[in-house]
Amino acid sequence: MTQPKQLDSPLFALLRADDVKAFNLQRPKNGSIDLANGDFRGLDLRDMNAKDIDFTNACFRSADLRGVDFRTASLEGASIAQAQISGAYFPVELSADEILMSVNFGTRLRYRTR
């Protein structure tokens, strides 16, 4: 299992500094952003623009994700243990049971196949 880590990225540094507003302003307008394996534990990420971000294998333990729209983000293998997720949107490939298992027990998110 991949361990979450501090990423060498200016955008990641903005999120770690709790500056979501600056992150949203500085992120590229087009294309994807690679934040895979990132350590987002305990961060307040409300209002973050998560469009097209790769959060594969990221750790969001105890993070505040309320209202974040993850519909176009990649969350495969991420953990949202004990995170606040009220009002958050998740990719359609994630079942409600899968999301609850991750919040309650820390399991890694697994996408269902169609």
Q: Which domain holds residue 53?
A: 1-104
C-alpha 63/C-alpha 76 separation (Å) is 17
Assign 95 a pLDDT band (cuts: 50, 70, 90).
Answer: very high
pTM: 0.93
> Is 110 contained in some domain?
no
C-alpha 24/C-alpha 7 separation (Å) is 18
Q: How many domains does the chain have?
A: 1
> Is 109 contained in some domain?
no
> Is 62 contained in some domain?
yes
Give the per-residue pLDDT at 33: 97
- Cβ atoms of 114 and 96 within 8 Å: the answer is no
Write the pLDDT tens digit of every residue in 28-84. 989 999 999 999 999 999 999 999 999 999 999 999 999 999 999 999 999 999 999
Average pLDDT score, the chain = 95
Give the per-residue pLDDT at 112: 85
> Is 114 contained in some domain?
no
- Cβ atoms of 11 and 36 within 8 Å: the answer is no
Cβ atoms within 10 Å of 101's Cβ, excluding its own: 17
